[in-house]
Chain A
Amino acid sequence: MRVRIAPPWWFAVPAILVYAVVVLYPSIAGAGSAFTDWSGIGNAKTFVGIDNFKQLAHDSQALGALRNTLLLTVAIVVVQNGIGLLLALGVHTGIKSRMALRLVFFAPVVVSPVMVSFLWKFVYNPAPDAGLNAALGAVGLGGLRQDWLGNPSLALWSVAFTVIWQCAGYSMVIFLAGLEGVPAELHESAMVDGAGTVARFRYITWPLLAPAVTINVMLSTVGGLTLFTQIIAMTNGGPGYATDTLSTVLYKQAFVFGKFGYSTAVALVLAIFVAAVSFLQIGYLRSRETAA
């Protein structure tokens, strides 16, 4: 006779309590404050309807930040995963240095983004004889020297490249796990049939990598949309507002200007963006997976 004993309900209680206090209650309260003029001092707040969102629609700093956030996210998703895939394909071969190279490319992932940002501030030193500029001069490309973080039309891409440098190894590792799941026999029989490297990638490897693509795209999208640390550490949103993102704007509105109600309105917009993009991506990428 099979006795079926279900685990008791109180197993879930500690987790639910902490989750409710740290995530659920504050998120609901935050969404509610988005419709008030809360200053953050005391509990005085008046319901102002959608005034914060109206203000947001005319706030050039916030709109610029929205644009920056989307540009950063697209750049990071495309370039980080592109480089990650190339690195994975490169080290998933018979080369002797493959294990050492994996370590090198992955190592920045475990380091704090704050420290990686400061490291890259040295690289982006505007002086012509320091960092990246000095290296460009040394290889005869002195004409390409830039004020990487001080030039408003360049700073956003310099920050994006720092994120890509740090996280490409993360994408690589997830692609590698996908590549290891591709049966070698498939490649062998395709080779016997005369398929070249490109054809084998297109018709065997790429379709079987679909789950790895899903994970990588989802992770880098959420990372890009909520980017904060690298901005604060490298440019603090500047020059001007050239590198402000939704996260830095809502942080400054709350803790610099004391406009907590407005700040949570920006946060609500960010949350809706993240949720909408996540659902769209899950739907699209999962359908690709089943098609493959």
Chain B
Amino acid sequence: MKYRPRTFLLELVMIAVAIGFLFPVYVLVTLAFKDPQQIANRPLSLPSPPSVGSFGEAWRSADLGSALLNSTLITVVSVVLLIAFGSLAAYFLARTATRLSYSLYILFLVGIILPFQLGMIPLYQLVDNAGLLGTYQGMIIFYTGIQLPFTVFLYTGFIRSLPADYTNAALIDGASHLQAFAHVIFPLLRPITGTVLILNAVQIWNDFFTPLLYLGGSGHETVPVRVFAFVNQYTSNYGLVAAGLILAALPILLLFLILQRYVIRGFASGLKG
């Protein structure tokens, strides 16, 4: 494509749009680097001199370190279980042409459009009765179940588009079904496993509603729940809240920058039914 005067004009327009788009980030960053006096006098100006005191204080008072660990643990284990359970089930559903497997597939699809609010309260009771409120296990089981329909849907679509079976040779060589799946089929699913991993990880990491209900006050809170409590506690201390928000968002933004191509591809490709 040639770079014409019109292209240059478009470039200027798009950059102007991006600057406007980033205005909220400017507001946040300038607040975080100002002391309360500067905020009171000139809230929107650039900080001069910049002060970084809010960051240390926010990190400690929001207890972000432990929240990051909680989020990481819950996200990683849930995603691993989703990949394992989802790919196995989808392989059965995609490679078996019986009425049972078709009905099961439809049953999973129903879960995609069923809003989780419908089962929210009975599930809360179930988790409570099982003694799993405030635990990692409760959250991990919840995420594995709630994200399974979408995961099964993605894997089944992908497996159906693969050419027929490669497992037969392995099975005839005496491997078990599980070994054949793990060594022959699973590696072929890498592209869709990447998508499943990214979409589920972002969803679980950022989820708020259920961890608020299940983990609030337990000490096992994830980052969004901890930030919510922190902001409500220090609501009038703008600099401190802004610094806390930046620190809490930074890990996932850095990860996004490192894996940008995969993340964008995952979001763009994952939903082609």
Contact = CB atoms under 8 A, between A and B. Distances in A.
Is the interface on chain A under 10, 10 to 19, 20 to 34, or 35 or more residues?
A: 35 or more
B11 A31 contact: no
Given A5-B167, A112-B206, A134-B44, A270 B96 contact: no
5 contacts: A23-B149, A26-B122, A26-B126, A177-B268, A254-B121
A95 to B, nearest CB: 4
A22 B21 contact: no
A26 B88 CA distance: 24
A20 B208 CA distance: 23
Contacts of A104: 18, 21-22
B249 A29 contact: no
Contacts of A271: 114-115, 117-118
A38 B257 CA distance: 48
Interface in B27-45: 27-28, 31, 42-44
A96 interface: yes
Nearest to A96: B11
Interface in A195-228: 211, 215, 219, 222, 225-226, 228
B145 interface: yes
Is the interface on chain B under 10, 10 to 19, 20 to 34, or 35 or more residues?
A: 35 or more
Nearest to A18: B145
B227 interface: yes
Binding site of B, secondary structure by majority: helix, strand, loop or mixed? helix
A210 to B, nearest CB: 12
Interface centre among B1, B86, B224, B269 (most CB of A within 10 A): B224
A233 B206 contact: no
Contacts of B205: 112
Given A14-B89, A30-B119, A122 B31 contact: yes
Interface in B156-175: 165, 167-168, 171-172
Contacts of B107: 19, 24
B47 to A, nearest CB: 14
The 9 closest A-B CB pairs, nearest first, are A22-B145, A26-B119, A94-B1, A15-B89, A29-B122, A26-B123, A112-B206, A177-B268, A27-B119
Nearest to A114: B224
A271 B112 CA distance: 11
Nearest to A178: B268
A7 B91 contact: yes
B59 interface: no
Contacts of A4: 165, 168
